[in-house]
């Protein structure tokens, strides 16, 4: 009897072990047959930029795709840390316009989620973008005459670097590199590969009175013999003075008229190559060449044109709404 009971118990244990093995194998096969939602692929990462405080920013954009027909959703985050983790949730669209209300440096990234309800396994999969930097800068105290319009602009030449005092009758110098807060030097439009030529400096005047005297546009006229366009004023100083093989360039400007809807309130500069990250500067207009072969070509005016190893220097004008 005891032997029979022992045999029954042994067979029961064998059956239990066998059942467990079979169940585990079935579970493993079931898991292997499950199809999870596909991970999104990010084709275009968001790009950083620098803005002046309270200017409207261009949207941060991410483009993504998924291979399984799922639905993509987006969650943008902002952080004070240079990282793509943590931070505060700020937007849920494929594009997000960052705030420029508060000066500082902020980091943005987006989490892209694929939701596929037809998946038999995990129904969601995520991909995190790289983080990108958005810097919000402020103008120096003497450059915050934002309620005024530029009513006069001038080009001045000096044999050596001029004193920092602003010329009499003007509000400010045009400074080096508008978008670099560490730059505050007087812009030398003749800077570059050698020490030939005078210092070429730009100054402007801002005032509230007589807004009909405001300047709507500035441009760079190419060549000595190019006539000044109708309605424009020319400052007859060669911006490449002292460089015999360089192009002749002249600053020209146009006052506002009844059809203008914007006028200049601040003039700055940008130094360096034009990269994708600085193509768009909200509120600012690049200064372009005009005249000669450049009529209608809309090419950004390098003030050192014709000097291939000199610095790239571009004037930029900030504008605000104007009503005649």
Q: What is the pLDDT of residue 306?
A: 75
Please report the pLDDT score of residue 142 as a whole number.
39
As a whole number, mean pLDDT of residues 135-160 equals 75
Q: Within this chain, do residues 159 and 229 fall inside the same structural domain, yes or no?
A: yes
Give the pair of three-digit tokens for residue 247: 């192009």
95 shares its domain with 152: no
Based on the domain organization, do 190 and 117 belong to the same domain? no
Average pLDDT over residues 298-312: 82
- Please report the pLDDT score of residue 195 as a whole number: 64
Q: What is the mean pLDDT of the chain?
A: 83
Q: Name the residue with higher pLDDT: 244 or 148.
A: 148
Judgement on whether residues 114 and 243 belong to the same structural domain of the protein: no
Last residue within a domain, chosen from 107, 137, 167: 137
CATH number at residue 79: 2.60.40.10
Distances, alpha carbon 180 to alpha carbons 104, 169, 175, 184, 192, in Å: 13, 27, 10, 9, 19
* DSSP one-letter code for 143: G
Q: Which of 247, 267, 252 shows the shortest CA–CA distance to 310?
A: 247
Q: Which of 96, 114, 137 is the last residue of a domain?
A: 137
**pLDDT tens, residue by residue, 93-140:** 999 999 988 888 999 999 999 999 999 899 999 999 999 999 887 765
Q: What is the pLDDT of residue 145?
A: 43
pLDDT, average across residues 135-159: 75
Are 295 and 232 within one domain? yes
Whether 298 shows a pLDDT value over 80: the answer reads no
Banded pLDDT at 57 (limits 50, 70, 90): confident
Residues 195 and 301 in one domain: yes
> Percentage of the chain surpassing pLDDT 90?
40
pLDDT at 207 over 90: no
| Weakest mean pLDDT among 43-52, 126-135, 296-305 | 296-305
Q: Which of 118, 137, 156 is the last residue of a domain?
A: 137
Per-residue pLDDT tens digits for 20-39: 656 666 556 555 578 899 99
Per-residue confidence (pLDDT) for residue 321, from 0 to 100: 83
Q: What is the pLDDT of residue 141?
A: 43
Examine the domain organization and report whether 87 and 159 are in the same domain: no
Does residue 231 sit in the same domain as residue 292? yes
One domain, residues 277 and 169:
yes
Q: What is the mean pLDDT of the segment spanning 219-229?
A: 89
Q: What is the pLDDT of residue 146?
A: 46
Q: For residue 181, what pLDDT is reported?
A: 59
Which residue in 237, 264, 263 sits closest to 248, CA to CA? 237
Are 164 and 255 in a shared domain?
yes
Q: Is the pLDDT of residue 232 over 90?
A: yes
- List, in order, residues 6 or more apart from 198 with CB less than 8 Å away: 157, 158, 159, 190, 241, 242
If asked whether residues 163 and 251 sit together in one domain, one would say yes
* Domain span including residue 234: 141-321
CATH code of the domain covering residue 231: 2.100.10.50
Report whether pLDDT(256) > 90.
Answer: yes
């Amino acid at each position: 009897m005891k032997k029979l009971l022992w045999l029954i118990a042994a067979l029961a244990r064998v059956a239990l072990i066998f059942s467990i093995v079979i169940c585990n194998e079935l579970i493993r096969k079931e898991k292997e047959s499950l199809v999870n939602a596909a991970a999104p692929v990010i084709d275009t990462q968001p790009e950083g930029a620098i803005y002046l405080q309270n200017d409207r920013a261009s949207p941060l954009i991410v483009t993504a795709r998924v291979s399984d027909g799922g639905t993509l959703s987006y969650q943008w985050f902002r952080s004070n840390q240079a990282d793509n983790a943590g931070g505060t949730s700020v937007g849920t669209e494929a594009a997000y316009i960052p705030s420029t209300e508060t000066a500082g440096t902020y980091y943005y990234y987006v989490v892209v989620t694929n939701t596929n309800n037809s998946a038999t396994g995990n129904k969601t999969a995520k991909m995190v973008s790289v983080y990108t930097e958005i810097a919000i800068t402020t103008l120096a105290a003497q450059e915050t005459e934002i309620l005024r319009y530029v009513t006069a602009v001038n080009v001045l030449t000096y044999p050596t670097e001029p004193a920092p005092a602003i010329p009499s009758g003007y509000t400010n110098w045009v400074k080096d590199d508008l978008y670099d807060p560490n730059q505050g030097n007087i812009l030398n439009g003749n800077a570059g590969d050698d020490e030939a030529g005078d210092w070429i400096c730009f100054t402007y005047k801002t005032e509230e009175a007589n807004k009909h005297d405001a300047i709507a546009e500035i441009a760079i006229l190419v060549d000595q013999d190019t006539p000044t366009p109708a309605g424009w004023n020319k400052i007859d100083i060669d911006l490449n003075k002292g460089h015999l093989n360089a192009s002749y360039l002249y600053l020209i400007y146009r006052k506002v008229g009844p059809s203008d809807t914007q006028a200049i309130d601040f003039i700055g500069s940008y130094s360096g190559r034009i990269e994708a990250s600085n193509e768009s500067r909200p509120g600012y207009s690049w200064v372009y060449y005009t005249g000669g072969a450049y009529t209608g070509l809309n090419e950004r005016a390098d003030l050192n044109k014709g000097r291939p190893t000199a610095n790239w220097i571009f004037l930029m004008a900030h504008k605000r709404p104007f009503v005649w």
